[in-house]
Amino acid sequence: MAAAKAAGVPANPIGEVTANGKLGVRTARGPLEWDVSVLRVGWETSIETAMKRPGLG
């Protein structure tokens, strides 16, 4: 953080990596939480799922 300040680069600590498989976010409007493995499935399989539908020809 000090090095960033010295370089004139804004730097904000925003959290920590955990082992619990959850993404938790505290915001000014309230807390958010997701199961990382669920997010990952949607992210990882979206194109594959779409491509299982028939294309022309």
Chain residues binding other proteins by CB under 8 A are 1, 3-4, 7-32, 34, 36-40, 42-44, 46-48, 50-51, 53-57
Shortest separation between residue 38's beta carbon and other proteins, angstroms: 7
Shortest separation between residue 44's beta carbon and other proteins, angstroms: 5
Shortest separation between residue 2's beta carbon and other proteins, angstroms: 12
Give yes or no for a contact between 36 and 23, defined as CB atoms under 8 angstroms apart: yes
Nearest to 15 by CA among 33, 42, 39: 33
Neighbouring C-beta atoms of residue 23, cutoff 10 Å: 14
